[in-house]
């Protein structure tokens, strides 16, 4: 088996020399693909597109997959791309997923390939940037597709490559992301047995893998609160029912949900107000105010409790101020907890330790970030993990967070992603073939 795989890889010009076994071959194949992966990432970084608008991104990916000879389907969940690699032997079906969308953020990092793209979000012209690393995820999976295509005749099973739009959430009023891909049958025909996904981390050292069994990322629900008051001149506030003051009281009330109602010694939760929109000029108390925000929870029980409290506090505070309050929660998106199947995680742990080194695999506590990979993992066993993208020696406190203008990734971290996804696929197929 190993000698045959090696010969296939050599014939595909992925490897420059003969290696002892398949594991080493994957390492060397990833090494030889590294510059390609970096080049793909830089192109994607320089040409970002927002959720459900990844038109040129999907064309770029599809061209690469078609050139590899894969069965490619485009237009899945609007702009998604799915490719199927059939191995030379019957066996399980492994899915690998990368997300495609960028964010309405203006890039500030001084890079020769920095984004200067402009898009439209909620009717406004906005700068667009890959401020969460989705460009690296796509480039990594493109590399994995090329690597595995080189040994397809010896793979005992099938690999499905899923390039997914709108992980950050579809625009209000639209469907999108993993939820729509599942709805449109991405895990069917052929039926997927397991799915793997990764996320690069700007705050974690290059060469490191972070993982945990069961819940690894929070469930997420957004909310919208609309406050209707009574307009008046700014000089006579007693003639008004002030929606702005009411909004501030509601915000203060929402902040007591986590601090005074949730068992924080058990697990974390978050309620954040992200936008507030009211008024047109300084001397007019407006009639309405509108707020949106996000809720992050790590269990169904906590989610139900917080959603109930958001509704109750906003409504009753508004009533006490004489205002009418409408609460929509969830508003436009709702993600389940990202859950790593315990048995599958245990089965693949030796692979993680081999590709990164046992000392570079960390078991982490759950985090309050959310991921719509959760929709796939709700349907089939899944494992989601993090790879490091922070330059070694840079203090974590100095690494710019995700979703910010200074977000930066050390491109040398992507090679571990190629190795990890390739080895997870090969090792799972070989261990579970009948």
Percent of residues, the chain, with pLDDT higher than 90 = 91
pLDDT digit string, tens, across residues 12-65: 444 333 323 567 788 889 999 999 999 999 999 999 999 999 999 999 999 999
Determine the average pLDDT of the residues in 352-366. 97
Could you tell me if 381 and 202 are in contact, meaning their C-beta atoms sit under 8 angstroms apart? no
343 burial via Cβ count (<10 Å: 0-12, 13-18, 19+) = exposed
pLDDT at 21: 57
pLDDT at 255: 97
121 burial via Cβ count (<10 Å: 0-12, 13-18, 19+) = middle
pLDDT of 318 over the 80 cut = yes
Q: For residues 19 and 219, which has the higher predicted lDDT (pLDDT)?
A: 219
pLDDT at 214: 95
CB hemisphere CA count around 87 (13 angstroms): 23
Q: How confident is the model at residue 333 (pLDDT cuts 50, 70, 90)?
A: confident
Instruction: Count Cβ atoms below 10 Å from residue 65 Cβ, excluding itself.
Output: 25
The mean pLDDT value of the chain amounts to 94
Q: How confident is the model at residue 219 (pLDDT cuts 50, 70, 90)?
A: very high
- In the chain the domains, ranked by start, together with CATH numbers, are 2-212+364-432 (3.40.630.10), 219-334 (3.30.70.360)
Q: What whole-number distance in Å separates Cα of residue 215 and Cα of residue 388?
A: 20
Apex CA 85: angle with CA 346 and CA 58, to 5°? 100
3-state helix, strand, coil in the chain (%, to 5): 40, 30, 35
Could you tell me if 89 and 168 are in contact, meaning their C-beta atoms sit under 8 angstroms apart? no
Please report which helix (H) or strand (E) contains residue 348, including its range: helix 342-356
DSSP 236-252: -GGGSB-HHHHHHHHHH
411: annotated active-site residue: yes
Catalytic hit among 168, 179, 411, 428: 411
Rounded to two decimals, the pTM is 0.88
pLDDT of 11 over the 80 cut = no
Catalytic hit among 19, 60, 335, 339: 335
């Amino acid at each position: 088996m190993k000698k045959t795989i090696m010969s296939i890889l050599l014939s595909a010009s992925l490897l420059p020399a003969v290696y002892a076994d398949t594991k080493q071959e994957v390492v060397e194949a990833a090494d030889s693909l590294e510059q390609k992966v970096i080049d793909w990432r830089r192109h994607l970084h320089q040409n970002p597109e927002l959720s459900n608008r990844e038109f040129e991104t999907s064309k770029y990916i599809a061209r690469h997959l078609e050139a590899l000879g894969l069965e490619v389907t485009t237009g899945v969940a609007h702009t998604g791309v799915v490719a199927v690699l059939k191995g030379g032997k019957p066996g399980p079906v492994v899915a690998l997923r990368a997300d495609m969308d960028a964010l309405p953020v203006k890039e500030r990092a001084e890079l020769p390939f920095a984004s200067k793209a402009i898009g439209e979000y909620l009717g406004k012209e906005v700068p667009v940037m890959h401020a969460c690393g989705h460009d690296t995820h796509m480039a990594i999976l493109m590399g994995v597709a090329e690597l595995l295509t080189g040994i397809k005749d010896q793979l005992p099973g099938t690999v499905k490559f899923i390039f997914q739009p709108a992980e950050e959430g579809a625009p209000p009023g639209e469907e999108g992301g993993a939820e729509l891909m599942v709805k449109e049958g991405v895990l069917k025909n052929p039926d997927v047995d397991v799915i793997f996904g990764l996320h690069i981390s700007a705050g974690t050292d290059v060469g490191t893998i972070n993982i945990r069994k069961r819940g690894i990322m929070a469930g997420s629900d957004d909310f919208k609160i609309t406050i209707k008051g009574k307009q008046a001149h700014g000089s006579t506030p007693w003639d008004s029912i002030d929606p702005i003051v009411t909004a501030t009281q509601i915000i203060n009330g929402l902040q007591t949900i986590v601090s005074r109602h949730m068992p924080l010694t058990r697990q974390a939760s978050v309620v954040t107000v992200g936008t507030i929109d009211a008024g047109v000029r300084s001397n007019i108390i407006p009639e309405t105010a509108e707020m949106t925000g996000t809720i992050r929870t790590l269990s169904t029980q906590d989610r139900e409790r917080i959603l109930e409290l958001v509704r109750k506090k906003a409504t009753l505070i508004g009533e006490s101020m004489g205002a009418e309050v409408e609460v929509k929660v969830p508003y436009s998106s709702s993600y389940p907890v990202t859950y790593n199947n315990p048995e599958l995680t245990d089965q693949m742990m030796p692979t993680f330790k081999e590709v990164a080194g046992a000392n570079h695999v960390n078991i982490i506590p759950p985090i309050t970030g959310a991921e719509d990979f959760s929709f796939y993992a709700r349907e089939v066993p899944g494992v989601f993990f993090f790879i490091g993208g922070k330059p070694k020696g840079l203090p974590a406190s100095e690494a710019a967070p995700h979703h910010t203008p200074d977000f930066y990734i050390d491109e040398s971290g992507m090679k571990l992603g190629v190795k990890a996804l390739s080895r997870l696929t090969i090792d799972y197929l070989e261990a579970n073939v009948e």
